[in-house]
Amino acid sequence: MPLRTSEEYLESLRDGRQVYILGESVEDVTTHPVLSVPTKHSSIEFDLAQDPDLKDLTQAELETIGETVSRYYQLPRTPEDLLKRRELIEYGSEVGLSFPLFIKAIGSDCLNALHIVCEALDNNEGTNYSPRVKAYRDYCASNDLALAGAITDVKGDRSKLPSEQSSPDFYVHIVERKDDGIIVSGAKTHITAAPYVNEFLVLPTRAMKADDSDFALAFAVPVNAEGVKVIARPDSVKNQFDFPLSSRHYHIEGTIIFDNVFIPWDRVFLAGEWQYAGALANTFATWHRFTGLSYKGPGADLLLGMAQLIADYNGVGKASHIKAKITELIQYAETIRVFARAAAREAEFHAGIAFPNPLLANMGKYYFASGYHAALRNVQEIAGGSVVTAPTSRDLANPETKEYIQRYFAGAEGVSAEDRLRVLKMIMDMTASEYAGNWMLATLHGEGSMEAQRLSMYRQYDIQRCVELAKKAAGTN
Ligand SMILES: Cc1cc2nc3c(=O)[nH]c(=O)nc-3n(C[C@H](O)[C@H](O)[C@H](O)COP(=O)(O)OP(=O)(O)OC[C@H]3O[C@@H](n4cnc5c(N)ncnc54)[C@H](O)[C@@H]3O)c2cc1C
């Protein structure tokens, strides 16, 4: 059975890859003080897959190879398959203390988008991409790969198409076509887990025109391929008392540089068919927004839990305004799940696989992004100022200040200062730290900017039907 252990996953990252962080080259991502934390977080995905009690959730049959593989690499045939995928992503995020595991979800979102669009492309244009996509899925599943989705280009002037930019390197593009493959150049940015996956699946980020054909490009490449370099975003090492979440669970995004990288033809899934770049970007976006909807529930539950806990510790847990805010948090958490389940149940079917309902997936992503800051506000309003002003674990450890802290920072009857501080620190970590700020921005822009969802919703809704309804009601023609 092709399911790797977390040790095998970690070992596979020691492959000569070129990764940089904070101006330095990284020898081994699995032992680097900053990068080892998200690497360990990601390895949970492999631990869950090894747990016999979770078999039904984490494993599925891939019919093309007749083997049991990671559920992420299954061809989802039914709404039930999508519901299981949702459940798996949500469970991973719960185990990761609200932080998604992600190292197969985004890559398989890309695979599923390629499966749909390449079949249409082959049928319409007589190309032969679909068999390559299928073979690549089999390869990912058989080797149980950790796979990132690299879609977002650096983009230069956002108002211009790739071919109109002052430099061709603002979008990843074909530099040369050869008998055995292509040479590509450019950079993808913001790529989640880039320093510690096995391969990148690269897709176009936008719709294109005829002049952009060298930029209409999709391919797969190992992280350690010659000419590939990853510049990771910065972070710092934190202690668990003061940063109970971000000391253990987070992802590091990276900018991937493609410096004249050779890609053999069997790993190329789009090379010049500019008419399909937009379809690939949009189909991926729906898959990925469904993933977003699937992982957000545990984070919303955790916000609710920490708000109620600190209210209880402060002795105000039953106050009516606290209940009102907690009720808003319940609504936030459960509405996210309602959208995810509805998008699965009202799936469309393309190229033989179930595809999350695009309107509902976009509405759901828009809902959680637009409500996240308000959810944090509720937690902060309930928790009070000590979230940012309370002493630290070091003050609690210092014999000169320890007793004062124990005396003055205790809460309601029976609540010790240490327990209260632990909860306050968790709230600081989740709502008022650098990590919290990253996550606020990630909630807006991850899975695509909110404007991208507005555009998708506008395109998908039958506006004319509503206009006809209005005309009928008004008695106009
Ligand atoms: C934490 C995090 C993780 C991510 N992970 C991944 C990942 O794994 N893989 C991946 O491929 N991407 C990833 N992304 C990228 C994400 O999809 C982008 O952030 C998002 O699509 C917005 O693009 P941008 O950040 O480049 O912003 P920009 O494109 O610069 O957008 C900024 C603003 O400008 C507006 N804008 C952009 N273009 C136009 C235009 N032509 N006309 C008018 N307005 C415009 C946008 O609507 C937005 O409001 C991640 C992002 C974050 C923050």
Residue with tokens 């992802």: 251
Rounded Cα distance between 37 and 248, Å, is 6
* 477 residues of the chain, pLDDT tens digit each: 689 999 999 999 999 999 999 999 999 999 999 999 999 999 999 999 999 999 999 999 999 999 999 999 999 999 999 999 999 999 999 999 999 999 999 999 999 999 999 999 999 999 999 999 999 999 999 999 999 999 999 999 999 999 999 999 999 999 999 999 999 999 999 999 999 999 999 999 999 999 999 999 999 999 999 999 999 999 999 999 999 999 999 999 999 999 999 999 999 999 999 999 999 999 999 999 999 999 999 999 999 999 999 999 999 999 999 999 999 999 999 999 999 999 999 999 999 999 999 999 999 999 999 999 999 999 999 999 999 999 999 999 999 999 999 999 999 999 999 999 999 999 999 999 999 999 999 999 999 999 999 999 999 999 999 999 999 999 998
Quick check: 10 and 46 in contact, CB under 8 A? Answer: no
For 270, what's the count of Cα atoms within 13 Å in the CB-facing half-sphere?
35
61 Cβ neighbours under 8 A, 6+ residues apart = 67, 68, 69, 74
For residue 386, the CA-to-ligand 1 centroid distance in Å is: 34
Residues 211 and 163 sit within 8 Å (Cβ to Cβ): yes
User: E-assigned strands of 41-141?
Assistant: 59-62, 67-70
Per-residue pLDDT, 117? 98
Among protein residues, the one with the nearest Cα to ligand 1's atom 30 is 158
Nearest CA-CA partner of 178 in 269, 271, 116: 271
Cα 126 to Cα 350: distance, rounded to the nearest angstrom: 18
Single-letter residue type at 456:
S
Q: Is ligand 1 within 6 A of the CB of residue 207?
A: no
d(CA 260, CA 364): 39
User: 19-21 and 217-222: which strand pairing?
Assistant: unpaired
Domains of the chain: 6-276 (2.40.110.10), 280-468 (1.20.140.10)
Pairing of strands 199-202, 147-150: parallel
* CA–CA gap between residue 224 and residue 237 (Å, rounded): 26
What's 8-46 look like in SS3? HHHHHCCCCCCEEECCEEECCCCCCCCCHHHHHHHHHHH
Q: Which residues pair with 16 in a beta bridge?
A: none
Cβ-based burial of 53 (10 A; exposed 0-12, middle 13-18, buried ≥19): exposed
Evaluate: CB of 446 within 6 angstroms of ligand 1.
Answer: yes
Give the number of the atom of ligand 1 that is nearest the alpha carbon of residue 444. 53
Q: How far is the CA of 218 from the centre of ligand 1 (A)?
A: 19
Give CA–CA dist 86/297, Å, rounded. Answer: 10
For the chain, the distance separating the N- and C-terminal CA atoms, rounded to the nearest angstrom, is 65
7 CA from centroid of ligand 1 (Å): 34
If one residue of 106, 152, 171 were mutated to test the ligand 1 pocket, choosing by the most ligand atoms within 8 A of its CB, it would be: 152
Residue to mutate (ligand 1; options 160, 199, 445; most atoms within 8 A of CB): 445
Whole-angstrom distance, CA of residue 376 vs CA of residue 369:
12
- Cα Rg of the chain, angstroms: 24
Q: Which of 247, 207, 297 is nearest to 36 (CA)?
A: 247
Q: How high is the pLDDT of residue 1?
A: 65
190 lines ligand 1 (CB under 6 A): yes
Nearest Cα to Cα of residue 343 among 364, 368, 372, 371: 364
| Helix, strand or coil, per DSSP, at residue 391 | coil
Determine whether the shortest distance from the Cβ of 451 to ligand 1 is under 6 A.
Answer: yes
Closest atom of ligand 1 to CA, residue 452: 47
What residues have CB less than 8 Å from 412, skipping those under 6 apart?
312, 313, 314, 315
Quick check: 280 and 203 in contact, CB under 8 A? yes
The pLDDT score that the predictor gives to residue 220 is: 98
201 phi and psi, to 5 degrees?
Answer: -105, 115
Give the integer Cα–Cα distance in Å for 384 and 38. 30
CB atoms within 10 A of CB 276: 24
Please, which residues bridge with residue 176 across strands?
183
Quickly tell me which residue has 């789009």 as its tokens.
270
**Torsion (CA) 108, 111, 116, 121 in degrees, nearest 10:** 160
User: Ligand 1 in contact with 429 (CB < 6 A)?
Assistant: no
pLDDT at 379 (0 to 100): 98
Beta bridge partners of 174: 184
Give the nearest ligand 1 atom to 154 CA.
Answer: 26
Encoding tokens for residue 163? 């071919």
pLDDT of residue 2: 84
Q: Taken in order 398, 401, 403, 408, is the CA torsion positive or negative?
A: negative
